[in-house]
Structure 1
Amino acid sequence: MQNLKTGITEISITGGGELKIDDTAYVYIPVAAEGRVLLVDTREQTPTRTALELLLPAGDVEYSSSLPPDLSGYGIVILGMVDNNSLGPDPAAILTGFVDNGGVVISTASPGLAHIEGSLLPINISGMSNETDLKLIQENPITAGIPVTDQKVDLEVVQHIRGSAPEDVTVLMEASDDSPMLSYRRQGKGTVVYLGLNDITGDDAWSGFAAMPQFPIFWKQMLNWLGGTDSSEHNVRTGTVIRMPSTQTITYPDGSTLTSSSLWVDQAGLYHIGPQVIAANLYDARESDVNEISLDASSVTSRYIERPEVVREDVKKDITPYLIWVVLGLIILELIIIKRRRELL
């Protein structure tokens, strides 16, 4: 799909099989974040800056100690350690307009985020918390760069921002107190991301993530995901179950609509969920074979949902001890009856 343009592409073949629906394939490539990357941070040299310098050409990254009022020349804005002075008088208005027009804002954990009013951030900040464990909520290309489930790696978090996730936000990673640690929201034509692991190092470090070799890998995965090079979440097989962060109106390929918080992809074609588009295809050859139609439970997959496996096992229980006690009881009862009869005689 590397040579396909962004947006919707339909590929049709002639002289196909008996089932016409599988003669057309649908591909959706999300619009990539275009423009330069701007890192806003009150510090001069940071691990994030080092990672960006390794991953991107020099002309594609700029650094600033304050948020400029005009962001039209950028595609991605990363907020590092910021405060009231570096954000300016009305950062929410500047950033919201930027995102609505197709920009991407990545906000890393910083006390200064509390100065961004409104509903821009994909976290409702309520305070600060101390040490916590991380929980992987949903798999995503971004989370591949964070060693959350790796038992060999000890990712220590000693401080984090406490908060909750708004209804329309997708949470990928949480703290043990259910605070979002990695979350995002599609807004307008753009995307807003919150990362609860900042890059402070030394005695004041909030976590050890910035000192790990996985740190630049994470930023590579993040930029690839935002750049549209990973389109797996927009292109699925029929039979896939997709869980959404909130109840939304879904438009099916046949034009019907449904309001739900989950989607079972049972039609081939294009699904519209707000500004998002999902392309579904009959990738399994057995699905399109009208001569052999069967329901295979293994073909129904679930994305980002782990369903508990219920195992039922029939156990044959030995009731011999119970029968022995019953027999003994009957014998004792019979002896009592015989004794009473003798007394009566």
Structure 2
Amino acid sequence: MHDEAPTTLPPLAAGRHWLAGEVDHQLRDRCAVAGGPIVLGVSGGADSMALLLALAALRHRHRDAGDRLEPVAVHVHHHLRDREADEDAIFVERLGEQLDIPTRIEDIRPTPAAGGLAHAAREARYATLARVAGELRARAVAVAHHADDQLETMIMMLARGAGPRGLAGMAWRRPLAAGVTLVRPLLWATRADCEAYCEACGVSWRNDSSNDRSQRGRLRESVTGPLASMWPSAATRAAVASEALEAAAWAMERVLEQTFGPASRRVWPRDALLDLPPGLVGAGLRRAATDADPAVTRTLGHRQVNAVVTAIRAQDQVPRCFHWPRNMHVEVDTRAVELHTA
């Protein structure tokens, strides 16, 4: 790891490289960011360095006054890795100064909570980015998740038994806080693309040693690394598959609306569900339960939902009652299926 400074501010290569054009296009297209203040989450890794370089270059491109990007780099210091984390903060602040990008170092000290320390750190980090965006009246926070991150996310969601929406992985944009949207303009670029861009600009990056011990780090070593050796374009193809799954989720939600009605509905004619695919019936029941109590998603298992689906499709049509978590139960009789909540 080395810390050379760029020779021009920003380096000429930053604006000429294809990745700058990719970020520009995706910010306006998939992310719907036209211009104005935009907060960048910058950890110091190659991906966030690439995003910072691209935004520094795009800021200098000719744009109408109302369409000019005004990036502000924000490094969230979690105080979890002692000296290494201190050096990350210094590195990001220094490069921000060299690129003439306003840079803020925000200190947080997350403590373990439900979901573990990593989850608490992530929640605190996003809350900090949202707060800074509010202070700056920025309507978007950009982070540097890329295609390799997307592949890892999709594999993790597959292992958790997610439906189409979850299998689609991370969205290009999602609400982060009131009036603030989280955007990911690098989802079609790979980790290697980000590193090559930094190298082309003569800019180095930091490596977080704790990543190797994280869940994603272990997944990278044991799964996605070997996968890439067999299918080198796996990450970029996963990014394309993500869009197809997002479209499938969109279509499925509309079919559910047509067949099950609004999510707040709790009773349905049994005959109307008999000819539907079992997966669709299960999704409709889970949708209603989640609407009644979002916390049920953590404990409502596939076997519990599938037992109700099987009863609905049974030829004997014997009335049955199934108890679900969170004091819910589902009654299936000859005419109707009804979800009862506490």
Report which structure shows greater RCO (CA 8 Å, sep ≥6): 2
- Do these two structures clear the TM 0.5 threshold for a shared fold by scoring above it? no
Q: State the TM-score, normalized to the length of structure 2.
A: 0.27
- Which structure has more strand as a fraction of its residues? 1
- Which structure has more helix as a fraction of its residues? 2
**Greater Rg over alpha carbons, structure:** 1
Q: State the TM-score, normalized to the length of structure 1.
A: 0.27
